[in-house]
Amino acid sequence: MSRLVREGELRARALLEAPVDSVDDAGSLVRVWQPIASVWTKIAPRRGAEVFVAGEQESVLTSEVVMRWRPDVASPMRFRVGARALPIRAAFDPDGQRRFLVCICEEFAA
């Protein structure tokens, strides 16, 4: 297998976040995002599409995010890159060597 990432290609700093369900002051269940780690990534858009969600048209961008391998990354975690939130839909080790982790992310925009 050819190299997935070359030296220096993990250039985008991203915050890895995990969802935590909490109760607010009114007693309602709310989801907050807890920072797990700051990681170096390579983010590459793969495809875009228009979809209808609850009767509204939205754009969805599917991106591939490559990072160094770690055992605790899975859906429904997300990456935060500036104002962008990239929810993880799938995460896998592409060559079984535990060197890199490829995450498929979907980003929605109205």
Q: Which domains does the chain have, with CATH numbers?
A: 12-109 (2.40.10.270)
Which stretch of DSSP H or E encloses residue 68?
Answer: strand 56-68
Could you tell me if 3 and 9 are in contact, meaning their C-beta atoms sit under 8 angstroms apart?
Answer: no
Encoding tokens for residue 53?
């969600």
**pLDDT per residue as tens digits for the range 27-51:** 899 999 999 999 999 999 999 998 8
Encoding tokens for residue 81?
């890159």
Which of 5 and 21 is assigned the larger pLDDT? 21
